[in-house]
Amino acid sequence: MNLDTTITYEEAIKCYMIITRACEFGTKDFIINKLKQKQKQKEYTIHEIIDLTKNQYGNKSFAQFFTK
């Protein structure tokens, strides 16, 4: 996987939680309260996920995982 890899919405959630060790509660809260207005489709690139989670828990860890 690299920054241009496209994954499904569901895969993105699982991937983010595994890489960042984000809890299910925090992830669901982010999706419901912050991402809902920005959710565009059923697939995202890794780069889009990094942009959408900017300044959120685990964002730096997630970005570093794909850029190192």
Q: How many domains does the chain have?
A: 1
Angle at 42 between CA 39 and CA 48, to 5 degrees: 60
Q: What is the predicted pLDDT for the residue at 59?
A: 96
Q: Between residues 30 and 6, which one has the greater pLDDT?
A: 6
26 inside domain = yes
pLDDT tens-digit series, residues 20-60: 999 999 998 888 887 766 666 789 999 999 999 999 999 99
pTM score, two decimals? 0.85
46 inside domain = yes
1 inside domain = no
Range of the domain at 58: 6-67
Q: For residue 34, which of 15, 11, 51, 10 has the smallest C-alpha distance?
A: 51
